[in-house]
C-alpha cells in the first residue's frame, strides 16, 4: 500500500522546495511569554494569548475545580446530554458581555464559522467575503453551496457593486481584526451597506474580543455599534480569554436557528464543562483588568516606533498583531530561524496563509511582555539588517 501515496511524497518535496514546508515545535512548558522547546528557553512573540490568561492562576484553579465537579469529558453533544450548567451559565454571561440576546457555544472557532454560514445560506443565496478573511470564513462560504463573492480588502465600494446584482439571501462575512495584518474592518461602512441592501452582516472578532473596546467588548463596541448594526458576532475563547472554544452571539431567532440547523453544533461533542468554568473566570478578568489592554497598546506602539526607526516594513496595525513584511517565503523562514537562535520565537507566515510575495514575521504581544522585551526583539532585528 506504500505506493498508493507515492505522489504525495512528491507534493511534500514541492512544498519544501518553495520554502513553504510547515513543521511543529514541541512545547515543554506552560503557555506564556517564556516557552521551553528542546530544552531551550525562548522569549515568545507568536502567541495569541494576548492578555496572558492561558496560565493565569485563577483560571487554572477554576479549571481544576470544574474537573472535580464535572469530570474531564462532556460525554456527548449539547443536544444529547453534554450541555452542563457551566455551559449554560457561560453562554448567558457571554451574551451579556457582547450586548446580545443570546450566545451559543461551539467547540472551535472554525466549527462556529462553518456551521453558521451553512445554517444561514445555501443554493440561490450569496456570500460576500473580504479577500483577507480567515480560512474558516472562506471555507464556510465555499462549502455552504451559496454563490461565493470576494471583495477587495476593506473595499466597501467593491462590495456594494457586488451586492447590487445579488439575489436570494445575502450574507457579508468579515474578520473584525484581520489576523495576519492586524488592521480593523470598517464596520460602520459595512453595516450601512448591509442595511441598504437588506443583507446580514457577520463579524468574526476572534482577535478583537478581550483586546479592544470598552472592557474588551471587541470591534463592534469599538465602533459604537450594536446587535441591530452587526446582527451576527463570532468570538473565540482560545486567544485573549486564554482557554478554548468559541461562541456565536445574536438575536434569539439567530441562536435558535443555529441550534436547529448548524451541523457543527448538532453533531459534535460539547467542550468540557471544566473549560467553561475556567472561561467564566477569565471573562471576569477580561472585563475587570483594563491595565492588560492598556499595556498591550503601549507595547505595540513602542514596537511600531522602534521598527519604523529601523526602516522595517511594518504594517499599519493598531492591534497586538504587528507584522513585518519580508516578501520571499524562504527568507522569512531564514530570519525566523535566526531569531530562534537568538532565543526569540517569532513565526514566519507564508502563502497560502498570506498572499504570494507577502511572507512575513507575525509579531504578537502579550500583557505579560515588558518594555525591555520589545527592545530586545528590536535589537535582534536590527542585527539581522533587514
Q: DSSP alpha helices (H): ranges in the chain?
A: 6-17, 57-70, 85-98, 109-120, 135-143, 156-164, 187-196, 219-222, 252-261, 263-266, 273-288, 291-309, 329-341, 371-383
What single-letter DSSP state applies at residue 169?
A: -
For 146: left if phi > 0, alpha if psi spans -120 to 50, otherwise beta; the answer is: beta
What are the distances in angstroms from CA 301 to CA 151, 179, 180, 317? 30, 18, 18, 9
Cβ pair 105, 91 in contact under 8 A:
yes
Tell me if residue 207 is catalytic.
Answer: yes
Cβ-proximal residues to 25 (8 Å cutoff; 6+ apart), any chain: 37
Which one is catalytic: 47, 74, 118, 179? Answer: 179
* Collapsed DSSP state (helix, strand, coil) of residue 76: coil
Which one is catalytic: 239, 295, 369, 373? Answer: 239
Pairing verdict, β 359-364 and 321-327 = antiparallel
* Collapsed DSSP state (helix, strand, coil) of residue 93: helix
Which one is catalytic: 78, 87, 149, 207? Answer: 207
Pairing verdict, β 344-345 and 170-175 = unpaired
From the CB of residue 62, how many other CB atoms can be counted at a distance below 10 Å? 23
Cα distance between residue 28 and residue 35, in whole Å = 7
Cα distance between residue 163 and residue 149, in whole Å = 9
From the CB of residue 91, how many other CB atoms can be counted at a distance below 10 Å? 20
Tell me if residue 134 is catalytic.
Answer: no
Tell me if residue 136 is catalytic.
Answer: no
Catalytically active residues are 179, 207, 239
Amino acid at each position: 500500500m506504500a505506493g498508493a501515496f507515492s505522489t504525495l511524497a512528491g507534493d511534500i518535496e514541492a512544498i519544501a522546495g518553495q520554502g513553504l514546508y510547515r513543521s511543529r515545535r514541541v512545547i515543554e512548558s506552560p503557555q506564556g511569554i517564556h516557552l521551553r522547546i528542546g530544552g531551550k528557553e525562548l522569549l515568545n512573540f507568536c502567541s495569541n494569548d494576548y492578555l496572558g490568561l492561558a496560565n493565569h492562576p485563577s483560571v487554572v484553579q477554576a479549571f481544576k475545580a470544574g474537573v472535580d465537579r464535572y469530570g474531564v469529558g462532556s460525554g456527548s453533544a449539547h443536544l444529547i446530554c453534554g450541555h452542563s450548567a457551566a455551559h449554560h451559565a457561560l453562554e448567558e454571561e457571554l451574551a451579556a458581555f457582547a450586548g446580545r440576546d443570546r450566545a451559543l457555544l461551539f467547540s472551535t472557532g472554525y466549527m462556529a464559522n462553518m456551521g453558521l454560514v451553512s445554517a444561514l445560506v445555501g443554493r440561490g443565496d450569496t456570500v460576500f467575503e473580504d479577500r483577507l478573511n480567515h480560512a474558516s470564513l472562506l471555507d464556510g462560504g465555499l462549502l455552504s453551496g451559496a454563490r461565493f463573492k470576494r471583495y477587495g480588502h476593506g473595499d466597501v465600494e467593491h462590495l456594494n457593486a457586488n451586492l447590487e446584482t445579488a439575489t436570494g439571501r445575502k450574507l457579508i462575512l468579515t474578520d473584525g481584526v484581520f489576523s495576519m495584518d492586524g488592521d480593523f474592518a470598517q464596520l460602520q461602512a459595512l453595516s450601512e451597506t448591509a442595511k441598504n441592501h437588506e443583507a446580514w452582516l457577520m463579524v468574526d472578532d476572534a482577535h478583537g474580543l478581550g483586546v479592544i473596546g470598552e472592557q474588551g467588548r471587541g470591534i463592534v463596541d469599538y465602533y459604537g455599534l450594536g446587535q441591530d448594526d452587526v446582527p451576527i458576532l463570532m468570538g473565540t475563547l482560545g486567544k485573549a480569554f486564554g482557554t478554548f472554544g468559541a461562541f456565536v452571539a445574536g438575536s434569539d431567532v439567530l441562536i435558535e436557528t443555529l441550534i436547529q440547523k448548524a451541523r457543527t453544533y448538532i453533531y459534535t461533542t460539547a467542550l468540557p464543562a471544566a473549560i467553561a468554568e475556567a472561561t467564566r473566570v477569565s471573562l471576569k478578568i477580561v472585563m475587570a483588568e483594563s491595565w492588560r489592554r492598556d499595556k498591550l497598546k503601549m507595547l505595540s506602539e513602542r514596537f511600531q516606533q522602534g521598527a519604523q526607526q529601523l526602516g522595517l516594513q511594518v504594517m499599519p496595525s493598531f492591534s497586538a498583531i504587528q507584522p513585518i513584511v519580508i516578501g520571499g517565503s524562504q527568507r522569512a523562514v531564514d530570519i525566523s530561524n535566526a531569531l530562534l537562535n537568538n532565543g526569540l520565537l517569532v513565526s514566519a507566515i507564508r502563502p497560502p496563509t498570506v498572499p504570494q510575495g507577502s511572507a512575513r514575521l507575525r509579531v504578537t504581544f502579550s500583557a505579560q511582555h515588558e518594555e525591555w522585551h520589545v527592545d530586545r526583539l528590536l535589537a535582534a532585528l536590527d542585527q539581522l539588517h533587514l
